[in-house]
Structure 1
Amino acid sequence: MDLLQRCLWSSLGVVALVYVLVKFSLGYWKRRGILHVKPKFLWGNISEVLRGKKHVQQLLLFLYESYKGRAPFIGCYVLLKPFVLVLDLELVRNILDSDAGYFTSRGLYNNVAREPLSGNLFQLDGHKWRQLHAQSAPAFAASNLHKLLPQLLKTSRTLQLELGVGKQDLNVSQLLDCYNVESIAKIAYGLSSEDLSEFSLMTRSYWSNWSLWRAYLALELPLLARLVRHRSYSQLAMDYFHKLVEKQLQQQRKRDRQPLQSFLQLFDATDEALTDAQIAAQAFGFILAGLQPLNASLAFCLYELALQPELQDRVRAEIKQVMKATEGQLTAEGLKQLSYTKQVLNETLRLHTPYPFLLRRATREFELSNSIFVIARGNNLVIPVAAIHRDPTIYVKPERFDPERFRPEAVLKRPGMSFLPFGEGLRGCIAKQLAEQQLLIGLVALLEHHKYEPSADTQIPMRYDPGKLVLMPKTDIKLSVQWLEPH
């Protein structure tokens, strides 16, 4: 009986201690006197997201609309972890641009010793990120993108052939995944079309062991995660990508004065030499940060144009005009002339923002000017990009797809930091120009000779997958595709 009582009291003591620790954690913003969203025990403010009832974009939009104008930021909780939710565009400018030195960290988990491919620019912070960014930035110069353009164009012609002739119902999401996988395989890794089978499989399986709870614990307790040898990605996939880069680099170094074909060559030729492991991590970054957003953006764009055929016709007319002027061969100069097509892509990125939020962590205490508010060192920040993109005070009738919002004169009338699909400033997307180029080339190939309409399997209205952090359709986008005979 004594043993039973001791066990009972011990259990009650543990429960009481856990309760006190949870209540203490969820009292952070109250102790600081900061306006905040009342948290639920253990869940914080994300219970509906974790239960799959809401996409994180919907939650952030609700909080943004509820609290905007009441303070430059509010407090909220991701489970037990306190976060700053930024509501003021001027503060967004401080964080991303004018005072970016205070917020150079994203706070993502990485373990380079255990998982070398986590040493990419997307995941790294601090001195390691600064050094790697300085070494890698020249690789993304416009002159290099110009030299790599033929590779993307070759892949886009394969995409056109896949569309075929006649009329058919197609799974557009799968088609675009093949296009972007092949583009990344060639541009980032220097692979040929014949070597795509295993590569494609690994791009779809590297996150096969991902768990939200393990990812959260790694984010909250990185030292413990490293101690217990937590892995973010499938070991099989990581071994494949690492060996692939080693093999490609060996073959590349045997050839003298070869024309530029991939970023492996650019990373291998930096002024301050990158190790093979660092090069492999940067190549993996193309897949980690780029593949799903590129797939979704092109699919969403075709979906919107299928619903508004007059906009689709206008884009196609511009494409045909540019192709005629360049004698059927798309060039870097021709891409610059696709002004309305670029407006359509920007409107897609606004309405269906791939990354609904940006993460930053304060590396130093930051006091807001002309304000009593202070962001403490170590605070994690969320910038609700998708909510800003749907703010009716910035974009009239934000739920409507309207490329006219991105006419140059319309853009100039909007406040700064009101369009952030690639982030901005010091930690903005280093591959922004490449991503835009890949999207534009893909859209030219898709629309030049083909017309898109909703099919019986097209989901209208669009619904997002609440289980994904990147904004993705809940089901694959399927459309009716018809070849247009040349006149």
Structure 2
Amino acid sequence: MQNIYNQLPRERYVGFYGFHRPLLLIRDPELIRHVLIKDFGTFHDRGLFIDDEEPLNKHLFFLAGKKWRQLRIKLSPTFTSGKLKGMFKTIQDCGQEMVDVIGEMVDRGESVEVRELIARFTTDVISSVAFGQECNCQRNPEHEFRQWGRKIFEPSWQAAIAFVLNFVSPTLMEYLRIKGGRSDVSKYFQQMVADTVAYREKNNFRRKDFMDLLIQLKKQGIQLSMDDLAAQAFVFFGAGFETSSTATSFTLHELALNPDIQSKLHDEIDAVLKENGGKISYDAIRKMTYLDKVVSESLRKHPPAAVLNRECNQDYKIPDSDVILEKGTAIVLSVLGLHHDPTHFPDPDRFNPERFSEEAKAKRHPYVYLPFGEGPRICIGMRMGLLQTKVGLTNILSKYSVQTTQKTVANLDYHPRSPILMAKSGIHLRFVKRF
């Protein structure tokens, strides 16, 4: 998609084919605004094939139409500021545990594959705040939650073919019914959710977490089967741990390659924590404006979701043109293309957090930066993901510097069979105690 985006730099949109299916890649930010917000009613669905034989596919990301809208409204309260503040202690406890684990690695003189380290931290967070399960994957990397998490996003030919086919030809996908190789993961989550719900209902057990919200929705008469509950829990788990661990590890990679930026971030973290009595709190994280710029720039350079897609649900005339899109036409946005377009982000391969100063943002079209999507279908867990990422980074950088090693690959290659952006070689760094 990025290659197609780059081929015709002066065009507002580019048509191409996925087998016999016509697709339209949109490059123009104003037209992107129409698709994601202004004319959302025409483009509210993703147009993907949803295999009804796979129960875990009935989640918010895949759902369409009325069912998506109803569920979105009901699940949105999970991520209010009040709820995030309530989760903060759990997130911070997991962050502190991660720093302790890093300390032991440093004492043993080990360099670290950072993505796996961070994934264990985010898995601990999600398993606790979503399911009330204390896994401690950081001390027990082979815990079943971590093993299933690895399987969800493990790059494989089967998963890659299923992902691409669903994107370019849902009709062929429906005909072939290629599985993404995740049926064992599906069975585990269905059983785990069924057991959790049964235990809580039998013992009238309440805990302010995501599972509790789902159980309460079911009690309120919202039509949610056990498969529906399992599907929402599954996507919360998968998206919640993987995208945050990817974002955090890419950020650490960029900081190791840019020690001047890392030094400036160290200064901000030190100053805010000193002001806060050395304590990492929800409000302290919110005061770290340079940290926010650093994370934003990392998400620009390495957006976990490199592509967004929509489907036109009625004939639609493209504004300021004579082109009529027929009902059923697939729409594609290349997030990677937009984020690396020198028109919007000069010298796009350079890591520069100042692109996200208020002045720089004000000069730029708002729809050229889409790490979480935008509009009514913007990532529901965006704030949770950012908070996890910032807590992880603050814990690490308050105690350590990150440096490159002989294994560090400066110009990362992305894994060709991964549905989310993942470094093919891993991210290898060294932690050095600061004090």
Q: Say whether the fold is shared (TM-score over 0.5).
A: yes
CA distances 1:156-182 after superposition (whole Å, capped 9, x unpaired): 111111111545411112211211222
Q: Equivalent residue of 1:371, what SS?
A: coil
Q: Judge conservation of contact 2:344–2:364 (CA < 8 Å) in 1.
A: yes
Distance 1:90 1:68 in 2: 15
Alignment map for 1:6-155 (pairs within 5 Å): 60-70=1-11, 72-112=12-52, 114-155=53-94
Q: Judge conservation of contact 1:207–1:234 (CA < 8 Å) in 2.
A: no
Distance 2:96 2:406 in 1: 28
CA distances 1:271-309 after superposition (whole Å, capped 9, x unpaired): 553443222111111244343322221111111111111
Q: Judge conservation of contact 1:186–1:192 (CA < 8 Å) in 2.
A: yes
Distance 1:358 1:225 in 2: 19
Q: Does 1:327 align with 2:277?
A: yes
Alpha-carbon distance change, 417 to 229 in structure 1, aligned in 2, over 3 angstroms: closer
In the TM superposition, what is the alpha-carbon distance from 1:258 to its structure 2 partner? 4.4
Q: Judge conservation of contact 2:300–2:339 (CA < 8 Å) in 1.
A: yes
Q: Judge conservation of contact 1:168–1:482 (CA < 8 Å) in 2.
A: no
In the TM superposition, what is the alpha-carbon distance from 1:109 to its structure 2 partner? 2.6
Distance 1:346 1:304 in 2: 12
Alpha-carbon distance change, 83 to 226 in structure 1, aligned in 2, over 3 angstroms: closer
Alignment partner, residue 241 of structure 1: 189
Distance 2:172 2:14 in 1: 29
Deviates more, 1:269-278 or 1:196-205: 269-278
Distance 2:297 2:329 in 1: 32
Distance 1:341 1:267 in 2: 33
CA distances 1:237-256 after superposition (whole Å, capped 9, x unpaired): 11111111122223333555
Q: Does 1:412 align with 2:353?
A: no
Q: Equivalent residue of 2:403, what SS?
A: strand
Distance 1:390 1:403 in 2: 14
1:176 paired residue among 102, 108, 118: 118
Alignment partner, residue 54 of structure 1: none
In the TM superposition, what is the alpha-carbon distance from 1:217 to its structure 2 partner? 5.1
In the TM superposition, what is the alpha-carbon distance from 1:228 to its structure 2 partner? 7.0
Q: Judge conservation of contact 2:307–2:333 (CA < 8 Å) in 1.
A: yes
Q: Judge conservation of contact 1:68–1:88 (CA < 8 Å) in 2.
A: no
Q: Equivalent residue of 1:448, what SS?
A: helix
In the TM superposition, what is the alpha-carbon distance from 1:225 to its structure 2 partner? 5.8
Aligned length: 423
Alignment partner, residue 432 of structure 2: 482
Identity of aligned residues (%): 29
Q: Does 1:351 align with 2:301?
A: yes
Alpha-carbon distance change, 189 to 233 in structure 1, aligned in 2, over 3 angstroms: farther
Q: Equivalent residue of 2:15, what SS?
A: strand
**TM-score normalized by structure 2?**
0.90
Alpha-carbon distance change, 413 to 79 in structure 1, aligned in 2, over 3 angstroms: same
Alignment partner, residue 145 of structure 2: 199
Instruction: In structure 2, give the amino acid aligned to 1:381.
Output: I
Alignment partner, residue 186 of structure 1: 128
Q: Judge conservation of contact 2:19–2:169 (CA < 8 Å) in 1.
A: no
Q: Does 1:297 align with 2:244?
A: no
Give the CA RMSD over aligned residues: 2.3
Distance 1:182 1:360 in 2: 33
Question: Highest relative contact order (Cα 8 Å, sep 6+), 1 or 2?
Answer: 2
CA distances 1:83-124 after superposition (whole Å, capped 9, x unpaired): 101011111000001111110111223234x22111001111
Q: Judge conservation of contact 1:316–1:448 (CA < 8 Å) in 2.
A: yes
In the TM superposition, what is the alpha-carbon distance from 1:62 to its structure 2 partner? 3.1
Alignment partner, residue 453 of structure 1: 403
Query: Which runs of 5 or more residues in structure 2 are unaligned?
Result: none
Q: Equivalent residue of 2:368, what SS?
A: coil
Q: Judge conservation of contact 1:365–1:374 (CA < 8 Å) in 2.
A: yes
Alignment partner, residue 213 of structure 2: 266
